[in-house]
Amino acid sequence: MYVPPEQLVKDRAEFAMKGIGRGRPIAAVQYDNGVLLFGENPSSTLHKIGEIYDRIAFAAVGRFNEFESLRVAGVRYADVKGYNYGRTDVTARGLANGYAQTLGQIFIHEVKPYEVAVVIAEVGDSPADDVMYRVQFDGTLIDVQHFTALGGSEETLLEILAESFEEGAPLADVLARTAAAITTNDESEIAPERWEAAVLDRSLGRRRFRRLDTEEIAAAIDA
């Protein structure tokens, strides 16, 4: 049966967006000393946020097995490039470009597109050097400034984040505002143990990724 190409692309896009929309939202927000990656995750072992390399982190929504395969591929790419060339040659831009090409090929050539959306963040030596890239299910690559969000009702969440964002705010304030934005967007209370959070902190030295524990998250939200 013949299907017009534009209809096939439209159907695949709708299928992928529905899968991503069912995921619990994740936000990436810049603070004074780095970037916060934050969202609801009822699992304590199946992480949606992870370290890729020294200054680079990954966050995703959608099907876990699909975005986990992307994360692992990103770690391998970073390790090989860092070994063959130099650690500073591993960049979020290069990684995001690789993800965009992979997801674009899968979207066009495979029977089922990946139901994932990805954020790649890199922290620099100053706030002006911080970068974030968003990669869509179809390989679309977007350079974002200050904050972004994936999953759920993301357009509404982005509007709430835009209202609450304050450039140069400390981590505790950004964490509390981001939690409030996601809670407001979901119209439900979320227990501290259901949050997953990590930071890229420029003060940590070579490896700048750090996970936040439940006590640190709860203290910031309740402050």
What helix, strand, coil percent values describe the chain, rounded to 5? 45, 25, 30
Structure tokens at 3: 């299907």
Higher pLDDT, 7 or 115: 115
- Please tell me the predicted confidence (pLDDT) of residue 167: 93
CA 174 to CA 165: how far, in whole Å?
8
- Please tell me the predicted confidence (pLDDT) of residue 209: 97
Mean per-residue pLDDT for 19-39? 94
Show the DSSP H helices in the chain as ranges: 5-21, 64-84, 92-109, 154-164, 171-186, 214-222
pLDDT at 14 over 80: yes
Question: How much of the chain exceeds pLDDT 90, in percent?
Answer: 81
> Are the C-beta atoms of 12 and 107 separated by less than 8 Å?
yes
- Please tell me the predicted confidence (pLDDT) of residue 1: 61
CB-count exposure of residue 211 (10 Å: 0-12, 13-18, 19+): middle
Q: What is the DSSP letter of 24?
A: P
Mean per-residue pLDDT for 98-114? 94
pLDDT at 3 over 80: no
CB-count exposure of residue 92 (10 Å: 0-12, 13-18, 19+): buried
**pLDDT tens-digit series, residues 140-189:** 999 999 999 998 888 999 999 999 999 999 999 999 999 999 998 877 78
What is the average pLDDT value for the chain, to the nearest integer? 93
pLDDT at 18 over 70: yes
> Are the C-beta atoms of 136 and 117 separated by less than 8 Å?
yes
CA 36 to CA 24: how far, in whole Å?
17
Structure tokens at 10: 């439209």
All domains of the chain, ordered by start, with CATH? Answer: 5-217 (3.60.20.10)
pLDDT at 194 over 70: yes
CA 70 to CA 36: how far, in whole Å?
21
**pLDDT tens-digit series, residues 53-104:** 999 999 999 999 999 999 999 999 999 999 999 999 999 999 999 999 999 9
pLDDT at 222 over 90: no
pLDDT at 5 over 90: no
